[in-house]
Chains A and B, each alone.
Chain A
Amino acid sequence: MLVDLLIILGTILLVFIAVLTGMAYLTYFERKVLARMQSRIGPNRTGPLGLLQPVADGVKLLTKEGSLPAKADKAVFLIAPVMVFVPALLAWAAIPFGPGFTAFGRQIGMRIADLNVGLIYILAMGSIGVYGIVMAGWASNNKYALLGGLRSSAQVISYEATLGLSLIGVLLMAGSLNLSEIVAAQQGTYFGLIPRWFVLPQILGFAVFLVSAIAETNRPPFDLPEAESELVAGFHVEYGGFGFAMFFLAEYISMLAISALASTVFLGGWLGPSIPLLPDALEGIFWFSAKMAIFIFFYFWLRATLPRFRYDQLMSLCWKIMLPVALLNIVLTGIIKLAL
C-alpha cells in the first residue's frame, strides 16, 4: 500500500519536474531556433552557451513585484493566472510517456493516471484555460486587455470545436478514449515497412488538428489575443512578475501538452524502432520526446515565418474551412471503417 502511494507520488513529482524543466528549456530552445532563423545569435551570456538563461529569467520573473491596477476587480484579477496555469499543468496527468515497466513486483505505467477518458480529459483541461484568459481580460479593466480577452474566448471556443472533431476520426479507428490504448492501436506496420501511425489514414484530421492546436494555444500566426503590435500584450497587459509568469508558463506548458497529444494520437506516441542497449522504458521516452520536438520545432518555425491573421479571417478559416474538412474526415473514416 505504502509502496503504491510512493510510486504514485514519485510519478507525479517526476512528471511535474520534467514538464517544468522541459518548459523552461523550451523558452531557451525557442530563442535559439528563432535566433538562427533570423540570423542572430540568441542567448549566450548566462552560463555556458546561455544554458542558465531560463533560470535567470525565472528568478527575474518570480522576484519582481506584482502590481494591481487600482480599478481592477481584485479577486478575479488574482485568480485568473491560476485558472490558466493549473489546468495547463493538470492536462499532463493523462499523457503516457512510455509503455511502462515492472519494478518492485508491480507493473508501473509511465503516466500519472491511466484514465479511460484520457482524450476527453485533456480537451477538457484545455478548455478550462480560456476562462482564466477571459477573466484576466475583464478584471484588468483595460481596454486592450478586454479586446484580447474577447478575441481569445471567441477564438479558443471556435477552434476547440474543430480540435475535438478532428480527433473523432482517431477515436473511430482506435475504438478507445484511453491514450495508452490509442497508442497500442498504432502498433505494427503496413506492408512491413510503413508504421501504422494514425497520421497516414487520418491525414485530413491531422491537418485540422495541427491548425486548431496552434490556434488553441494562441501561438503565431493565431496569436491574436496577445498580439503585441496591435493589443500591446492583449489579455495579460496589466500583469507583471508572478502573474505574468503564470500566463507565460501556462502558454508553454499547453504548447508542450498539445504536442504531446499530437505525438500520442497521430504519431504513435512512444512507438519507434528499437534502439540497442537502451531499456524499453527509456526508448519509449526517447521516441516520445523526439516526436514532440518535431511539433515544437514546427511551432517555432511558423512563428518565425508567418504574419498574423486578422480576427474575422481567423473565424472564417475555422467555420468555413476547418469545420467542413473535419466533418468530411469523420464521414470518410466512418465509411472506410464500415467497408473494411
Chain B
Amino acid sequence: MSARYDIHDLQEQEMVLNMGPQHPSTHGVLRVVLNLNGENVRKAVPYIGYLHRGTEKLAEVRKYYQTLPYTDRMDYLAAPSNNLGYVQAVEKLLGIEEDVPDRARYMRVLMAELARIASHLVWLGTHALDIGALSLFLYCFRERELINDMFEKYCGARLTTSMMRVGGMPAELPEGWVQMLEDFLGIMPERIDEYENLLTENPIWIRRTQGVGVVSPEDAVSLGLTGPCVRGSGVNYDVRRARPYQVYDRLEFDVPLATEGDVFSRYQVRVAEMRQSLRILRQALDQMPEGPWVAELPDYVLPSKVDAMTSIEGQTRHFVLTIHGYKAPPGEVYKAVEGPKGELGYYIVSDGDSKAYRMHVRAPSYYNLAALPLMCENRPVQDVVAVIGSLDIVLGEVDR
C-alpha cells in the first residue's frame, strides 16, 4: 500500500449517480442518471421502460370492450380518468357520443373529478414526503381512503376500477353513495386548509420549492407539458375548457394558474385544482338528472342481467356482444380528457374490425417527464427529488 499520488495526476471528474429504478423518491421505477459535480447536477437523463407492459399493442388484439381494464393500469392513481378517456374515444369512433344519457355523463364527471382529487392527494402526500414533511403523507392518504371507499361502493374495485362502459355507466349509483359524497364534500375543504396550514406558508417549504425546477411558458409549451405542469408556468390550457367533453361546458369552475413555473407554482395549482374539483362535484351532484345511466343501443351495450337471464333475445345479445364484440367503422379518432396529470388522449385507428387497428395513448406523464433534464440542470441533487415530485409522474402511464 505504498501508492504515491502526485497532485497533477488527480483528475477532476464528474460523479455518475444512478438514481433508481429502486429509489424511494422516483415514484415507481424511474431511473435517472445524474452527472454530479459535488452536489450539483450537471446533467440528468431519465431512463424509462421498466414498467412497459405493451398496453397499446394489447389493444390491437383485444376487442374494444376488452381493452377497458388495461386502461386502469396506466395511470393507476386515477383509473376512472383513463376509463373516461378510452370510452369517449370509442364512442366517438362508433359515432354514439350523442346517445349517452345525461345522467351517465354527470356520473362520469363525478367519478373523474373524484379521481382527480385522489390523484392529487397521492401527489401531495408523496411530494411532501420527498421533501421531508412526514405527516402530510398520512393525512392525504386518510382522505384518499374516503374516495377509494366511494369507488369500492360503486363498482367493487378501489384502484383498478374499470367503471365506465361504452354507452354509459355499468350501474346506477348504489344507495347511500350520494350521502358518502355529501359527507366527503362537507369535510374536504377543511382538510385542504389543514394541508395548506402545514405547507403553504412554511418557510422551509417555500425555500425548498420556490425558484426550483423553473420552466418558462415557451419551454413548457414546446416540451408538450400539459395539466398542472403547464398551468404552473402560466399557460392557460385545460382540456375541460379548450375542448369541453361530457358536461363540463355546463359547470362553473376556474382554471387555476400560477406564473412562476417552479415547484411551488405547480403545488399551488394542484391544491387550487382540488378546491375547484370540489366545486365541480357540488354542481354536478346538484344538476344530475334522474333517468337511465346507459344508452339504449342494443348493438353496443350489454343487456341487463335480468334481460340476459330471462329472455332468449337478451341472452343471444349477451353472447354475441361478449364473443364477437362490435365492429367499429373504419376511421381514426383522437379524443382527450383532462386527466389529473394533464391531457390524456386516446388515438384509435380502426379498419372496420371489432379490434383497434392501432391505439396510441397520449399519456401526460410521459411528456411531462421530458422536462426533467431541463429542470434539474445545475441544481443541487436534493432539488431533483423535489422536481420529480412536482412533475407528478406515474410510471405505469409513462411506460404504458
Q: How far is the CB of B175 from chain A (nearest CB, A)?
A: 29
Main secondary structure of the interface of B (DSSP, over half): helix
A310 at interface by CB-CB < 8 Å: yes
Q: Which residue of B lies closest to A143 (CB)?
A: B17
Given known pairs A39-B139, A223-B132, A229-B25, the reply for A307 and B382 (CB within 8 Å) is no
Is there contact, CB below 8 Å, between B135 and A304? yes
Given known pairs A38-B138, A312-B380, A313-B207, the reply for A307 and B17 (CB within 8 Å) is no
Is there contact, CB below 8 Å, between B138 and A308? no
Is there contact, CB below 8 Å, between B132 and A39? no
Complex Cα spacing A147 to B139, Å: 31
Q: Which residue of A lies closest to B137 (CB)?
A: A38
Complex Cα spacing A229 to B131, Å: 7
Given known pairs A229-B25, A232-B23, the reply for A309 and B130 (CB within 8 Å) is no
A303 at interface by CB-CB < 8 Å: yes
A230 at interface by CB-CB < 8 Å: yes
Is there contact, CB below 8 Å, between B207 and A143? no
Contact residues in A for B383 (Cβ distance below 8 Å) = 310
Contact residues in B for A313 (Cβ distance below 8 Å) = 207-208
Contact residues in B for A308 (Cβ distance below 8 Å) = 131-132, 204, 208, 382
Is there contact, CB below 8 Å, between B24 and A38? no
Q: Which residue of B lies closest to A40 (CB)?
A: B138
Among A40, A144, A310, contact of B380 (Cβ-Cβ < 8 Å): A310
Residues 301-329 of chain A, each 1 if its beta carbon lies under 8 Å from chain B, else 0: 00111111111110000000000000000
Given known pairs A38-B135, A38-B138, A143-B15, the reply for A307 and B39 (CB within 8 Å) is no
Is there contact, CB below 8 Å, between A37 and B132? no
Is there contact, CB below 8 Å, between A311 and B382? yes
Given known pairs A229-B24, A230-B381, the reply for A310 and B134 (CB within 8 Å) is no
Is there contact, CB below 8 Å, between A310 and B382? yes
Is there contact, CB below 8 Å, between B134 and A304? yes
Contact residues in B for A181 (Cβ distance below 8 Å) = none
B304 at interface by CB-CB < 8 Å: no
Contact residues in A for B124 (Cβ distance below 8 Å) = none
Q: How far is the CB of A314 from chain B (nearest CB, A)?
A: 10
Contact residues in A for B135 (Cβ distance below 8 Å) = 34, 37-38, 304-305
Q: How far is the CB of A228 from chain B (nearest CB, A)?
A: 6
Among B24, B128, B381, contact of A307 (Cβ-Cβ < 8 Å): B128
Complex Cα spacing A311 to B114, Å: 38
Complex Cα spacing A34 to B134, Å: 9
B180 at interface by CB-CB < 8 Å: no
Contact residues in A for B128 (Cβ distance below 8 Å) = 307
Is there contact, CB below 8 Å, between A306 and B23? no
Complex Cα spacing A137 to B383, Å: 21
Q: Which residue of A lies closest to B23 (CB)?
A: A232
Complex Cα spacing A38 to B137, Å: 9
Query: From residue 140 to 166 of chain A, which have CB atoms closer than 8 A to chain B?
Result: 143-144, 147, 151
A220 at interface by CB-CB < 8 Å: yes
Contact residues in A for B23 (Cβ distance below 8 Å) = 232
Is there contact, CB below 8 Å, between B129 and A229? yes
Complex Cα spacing A312 to B378, Å: 13
Q: Which residue of B lies closest to A151 (CB)?
A: B39
Residues 1-33 of chain B, each 1 if its beta carbon lies under 8 Å from chain A, else 0: 000000000000001010000011100000000
Find the residue from B39, B132, B199 having the highest chain A CB count within 10 A: B132
Complex Cα spacing A276 to B129, Å: 47
Given known pairs A229-B25, A310-B380, the reply for A147 and B39 (CB within 8 Å) is yes
B96 at interface by CB-CB < 8 Å: no
Complex Cα spacing A228 to B199, Å: 20
Q: How far is the CB of B232 from chain A (nearest CB, A)?
A: 19
Is there contact, CB below 8 Å, between B204 and A307? yes
Complex Cα spacing A303 to B142, Å: 19
Q: How far is the CB of A326 from chain B (nearest CB, A)?
A: 20
Residues 110-146 of chain B, each 1 if its beta carbon lies under 8 Å from chain A, else 0: 0000000000000000001111111100110010000
B202 at interface by CB-CB < 8 Å: yes
Is there contact, CB below 8 Å, between B138 and A229? no
Given known pairs A38-B134, A40-B138, A221-B132, the reply for A306 and B24 (CB within 8 Å) is no
Is there contact, CB below 8 Å, between A303 and B207? no
Is there contact, CB below 8 Å, between A305 and B131? no
A227 at interface by CB-CB < 8 Å: yes
Complex Cα spacing A310 to B199, Å: 16
What are 24 of the A-B contact pairs (CB < 8 Å)?
A38-B134, A38-B135, A143-B15, A144-B17, A147-B17, A220-B132, A221-B204, A228-B24, A229-B25, A229-B130, A229-B131, A229-B132, A229-B385, A230-B25, A230-B130, A305-B135, A305-B198, A306-B204, A307-B132, A307-B133, A307-B202, A307-B208, A310-B207, A310-B383
Closest 5 CB pairs of A and B: A308-B132, A307-B133, A38-B138, A307-B132, A307-B131
Known A39-B138, A313-B207; 20 more pairs at CB < 8 Å: A34-B134, A34-B135, A38-B138, A143-B15, A147-B39, A220-B132, A227-B132, A229-B24, A229-B129, A229-B131, A229-B132, A232-B24, A304-B134, A304-B135, A307-B132, A310-B380, A311-B39, A311-B380, A312-B380, A313-B208
